[in-house]
Amino acid sequence: MKSYEALKKAEEMELDLVEVAPAADPPVCRIMDFNKYKYEQKKKQREAKKHQKQSQLKEIRFKSRIDKHDLEIKLNRAKEFLSEGNKVKITLMFRGRALAHKDIGEQLLDNVIESLEEVAHIDRDKRWEGNNLTVIMAPGVNKKAKDNKKEEKGDSDAKGQDT
């Protein structure tokens, strides 16, 4: 159809003539309500955004002199956050005399990281932020932890066969 005929037909129908494929020979056009088309496209984009999961950064804070049971509760809470798909920022706070014993705090943080390795991996390594030692863990199993578990299973199987 000639372009002037298509324009005339679109005007009669009170619609728009929209060029769909300008690179084609001859160019391809469609008669449609362009405003309605744009509205439907925006609606599809909004619907797609609704179904996307946005992860948040949750924070777990404690001091180096935390009791064993309190630490277990905090670790369980961190595991919940990770299972929901959120990242977890673990903050170890140092105040007063605790700053003289940074090695104790670092050892505690290493134990925390080790206990969370089965459900998370390190997203950002240990870092000092003022008087706080922080690490960010993201959901997903650490590849090194998987390899270590496989090696342990292999070692235990070999030991069982020797005896």
pLDDT digits (tens, 9 = 90+) for 47-84: 888 877 777 889 999 998 889 999 999 999 999 999 88
Lowest model confidence (mean pLDDT) among 10-19, 47-56, 133-142, 146-155: 146-155
In the predicted model, is pLDDT for residue 161 greater than 60? Answer: no
Cβ within 8 Å of residue 118, ≥6 positions away: 141, 145
Residues 22 and 83 in one domain: no
Predicted local confidence at residue 101, as pLDDT: 84
Max CA-CA distance within the chain?
Answer: 92
Within 10 A of 115 (CB to CB), how many other CB atoms are there? 14
Residues of the domain holding 74: 57-147
Do 102 and 67 sit in the same domain of this protein? yes
87 falls in which pLDDT band (50, 70, 90)? very high
| Contacts with 56 (C-beta within 8 Å, 6 or more apart), sequence order | 86, 87
Q: Are residues 119 and 41 in the same domain?
A: no
Which helix H or strand E contains 88, and what residues bound it? strand 87-93
